[in-house]
Amino acid sequence: MKKILVTGAFGLVGTELVLELQKRYGKENVVAAAHSKNPGEFDGILEQADVTNPEEVKALVKKHGIDTIFHLAGILSVGSEKNPAAAWEVNFNGLKNILNVAKDEKLKVFWPSSIAVFGPTTPKENTPLHTSLEPTTIYGVAKVAGELLCQYYFNRYGVDVRSIRYPGLNGWRADPGDGTTEYAIHIFYAAIKEGKYVCPLKPGTYLPMMYMDDAINGTIQLMEADPSKITIRTSYNLSGISFAPDELVSEIQKLVPNFQVFYEPNHTQAIADSWPKSIDDSDARKDWGWEPKFGLEEMTKEMFDNLKKKLKM
């Protein structure tokens, strides 16, 4: 990884990944590409790119002599249900465009899949990597198709594409997107700003989650692993923490004792109910040494302290 392009560079993951890549590989070697957003005080190489336009992506790759793409641009589960056609165009066709450029220009690619590949027929506890994939959301359908496309491009064209099924990610640097697990970020803003929160999921709704620092380290670790270690070319399961909203609330109440939460499940409950509660990530541990560092307590403290500083409260 000498010259890196990150698409979706100012989303929840991109914002933190770009900073870490800049630190490890040098600011001059990381190109941050966004669709339209002006990131304000960004310090680095900034480009505008629409991943649904293959010519635009190819031109960027050639202009900067890119050898690696972290393709993060995408629409999350709740946003995708609002516009399934746009979700397919960005999430599936966008990936196809990136893989085609990677094939032509011999690039290495990272692409995030998600626990959204799983559905009601998948075992809920300790969900294995190879299992029933029958998602109920268009986001999940595009992720399953995307995983198979990645594997096809590896087998057929030798594209070195690597992927992780991200669980719900908790980060504080960027604003949360339109996803199902993002309640676990919104809740911190509410605790700090208002002292109360209306939770869109019921107590007891366990979901696989992870603190952003673990996700960023895991992503770079996977990309730096020797190709001989990578046995999975669809997408690796990755596990961090598994918790339900009421458990997160109890942790936050240790820091904000008067924090009040009202449970009013909405349409995201059905999505959450279709996803696993916990994940078996033994392949990632065995193949490239994955090990998460943050538990629920550490994550809550980090989120709270950093957000308070960010919000100047």
For the CA atoms of 8, 211, 261, 190, the dihedral, rounded to the nearest 10 degrees, stands at: -50
180 part of the interface to ligand AKB, by CB under 6 A:
yes
Determine the interface stretch with ligand AKB among 47-55, 108-116, 119-127, 254-262 (rule: CB under 6 A): 108-116
Determine the interface stretch with ligand AKB among 28-36, 152-160, 174-182, 279-287 (rule: CB under 6 A): 174-182
209 part of the interface to ligand AKB, by CB under 6 A:
no
H/E stretch holding 145:
helix 138-157
- List the end-to-end C-alpha distance of the chain, in Å, as a whole number: 39
H/E stretch holding 237:
strand 236-237
The residue of the chain with the least Cβ separation from ligand AKB equals 179
From 15, 91, 136, 181, residue interacting with ligand AKB (rule: CB under 6 A)? 181
- How far is the C-alpha of 177 from the C-alpha of 285, rounded, in Å? 29
Nearer to ligand AKB, 44 or 167 (CB): 167
274 part of the interface to ligand AKB, by CB under 6 A:
no
Nearer to ligand AKB, 44 or 168 (CB): 168
From 7, 22, 97, 114, residue interacting with ligand AKB (rule: CB under 6 A)? 114
Nearer to ligand AKB, 31 or 210 (CB): 210
Q: Encoding tokens for residue 281?
A: 């990530």
240 part of the interface to ligand AKB, by CB under 6 A:
no
User: 182-201: which residues touch ligand AKB (CB under 6 A)?
Assistant: 182
Which residues, in sequence order, are bridge partners of residue 47?
33
Nearer to ligand AKB, 68 or 114 (CB): 114
- How far is the C-alpha of 246 from the C-alpha of 251, rounded, in Å? 9
Which residues are known catalytic residues? 139
Determine the interface stretch with ligand AKB among 50-58, 177-185, 196-204, 242-250 (rule: CB under 6 A): 177-185
219 part of the interface to ligand AKB, by CB under 6 A:
no
144 part of the interface to ligand AKB, by CB under 6 A:
no
H/E stretch holding 15:
helix 12-25
Range 239-253 burial, b when 16+ CB lie within 10 A, else e: bbbbbbbebbbebbe
H/E stretch holding 69:
strand 68-71
User: 149-168: which residues touch ligand AKB (CB under 6 A)?
Assistant: 166, 168
Nearer to ligand AKB, 30 or 284 (CB): 284
77 part of the interface to ligand AKB, by CB under 6 A:
yes
- Crossing angle of the two packed helices 212-224 and 12-25, in degrees rounded to 10: 50
From 8, 179, 245, 292, residue interacting with ligand AKB (rule: CB under 6 A)? 179
H/E stretch holding 247:
helix 245-255
3-class state of residue 267 by DSSP: coil
Position 81, amino acid: E
115 part of the interface to ligand AKB, by CB under 6 A:
yes
The DSSP bridge pattern shows strands 168-170 and 68-71 to be unpaired
- How far is the C-alpha of 283 from the C-alpha of 17, rounded, in Å? 23
Nearer to ligand AKB, 44 or 171 (CB): 171
From 31, 57, 61, 76, residue interacting with ligand AKB (rule: CB under 6 A)? 76
170 part of the interface to ligand AKB, by CB under 6 A:
no
The least distance separating ligand AKB from the CB of residue 166, rounded to whole angstroms, comes to 6
Judge residue 58's burial from the number of C-beta atoms within 10 Å of its C-beta, 0-12 exposed, 13-18 middle, 19 or more buried.
middle
What residues make contact with ligand AKB under the rule CB under 6 A?
76-77, 114-116, 166, 168, 179-182
